């Protein structure tokens, strides 16, 4: 069976990054989905020489909780995903690495997001300075051994599903290369 795309009849914006498309489906039905026109995102699985993962604690307003997460953020205009990964890791955690490997790409949710999220593995990460002023006081850095991070992810203790996909991609790369 050939699955057909929807036909966009009209487009408007509810907000600069929330698009509303009036669409005609192949069966003739009309839907008006909200699409998030966000910038691309990146997420980093940074391993130290001691095989610890660089994690952060921060407040997340969607679920209104302080949670443990992998570092990540948005790709700025004019920046590559790799540059964004290096910048965000430094700003949020003060860690840097000479070896960033792109281990996977995904859609945060293909039904409503236009953008992609790029997962990076950073090897031999080291703290080389201070977090940015913006993140100081809002982001707390924690190192946790690799095996324990995988066990935490399996137990559902890393609640961000985007973290889980980055961990999956990073483990796949490590399995193939260790």
Please report, as ranges, the residues that interact with a copy of itself according to CB under 8 A: 1, 3-6, 14-15, 18, 21, 23, 25-27, 33-36, 57-67, 69, 104-114, 117, 137-140, 153-154, 156, 159-162, 164-165, 167-169, 172
Structure tokens at 114: 């236009």
* C-alpha to C-alpha distance for 163 and 7, rounded to whole angstroms: 33
Query: 3-state SS string over 33-58?
Result: CEEECCCCEEEEEEEECCCEEEEEEE
Q: Which is nearer to a copy of itself, 5 or 49 (CB)?
A: 5
Q: Which is nearer to a copy of itself, 128 or 136 (CB)?
A: 136
* C-alpha to C-alpha distance for 170 and 31, rounded to whole angstroms: 37
Q: Are 18 and 36 in contact (CB under 8 A)?
A: yes
Task: State the nearest-atom distance from the C-beta of 102 to a copy of itself, in Å.
Answer: 10
Task: State the nearest-atom distance from the C-beta of 152 to a copy of itself, in Å.
Answer: 11
Q: Which is nearer to a copy of itself, 79 or 102 (CB)?
A: 102
Neighbours of 159 (CB within 10 A): 14
* Alpha-carbon separation of residue 144 from 149, 151, 166 (angstroms): 6, 11, 16
Neighbours of 49 (CB within 10 A): 9
Task: State the nearest-atom distance from the C-beta of 145 to a copy of itself, in Å.
Answer: 18
Q: Which is nearer to a copy of itself, 124 or 138 (CB)?
A: 138
Task: State the nearest-atom distance from the C-beta of 140 to a copy of itself, in Å.
Answer: 5
Q: Which is nearer to a copy of itself, 80 or 107 (CB)?
A: 107
Task: State the nearest-atom distance from the C-beta of 133 to a copy of itself, in Å.
Answer: 9
């Amino acid at each position: 069976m050939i699955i057909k795309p929807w036909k966009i009849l009209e487009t408007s914006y509810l907000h600069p990054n929330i698009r509303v498309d009036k669409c005609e489906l192949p069966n003739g039905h009309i839907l008006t989905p909200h699409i998030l026109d966000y910038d691309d995102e990146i997420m980093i699985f940074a391993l130290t020489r001691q095989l610890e993962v660089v994690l952060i604690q921060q407040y997340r307003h969607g679920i209104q909780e302080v949670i443990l997460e992998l570092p990540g953020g948005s790709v700025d205009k004019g920046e590559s995903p790799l540059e964004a990964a290096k910048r965000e890791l430094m700003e949020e955690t003060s860690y840097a690495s000479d070896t960033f490997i792109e281990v996977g790409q995904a859609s945060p949710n293909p039904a409503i997001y236009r953008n992609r999220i790029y997962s990076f593995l950073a090897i031999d990460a080291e703290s080389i300075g201070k977090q940015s002023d913006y993140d100081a006081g809002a982001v707390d850095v924690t190192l946790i051994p690799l095996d324990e991070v995988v066990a935490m992810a399996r137990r559902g203790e890393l609640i961000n599903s985007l973290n889980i996909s980055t961990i999956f991609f990073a483990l796949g790369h490590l399995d193939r290369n260790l």
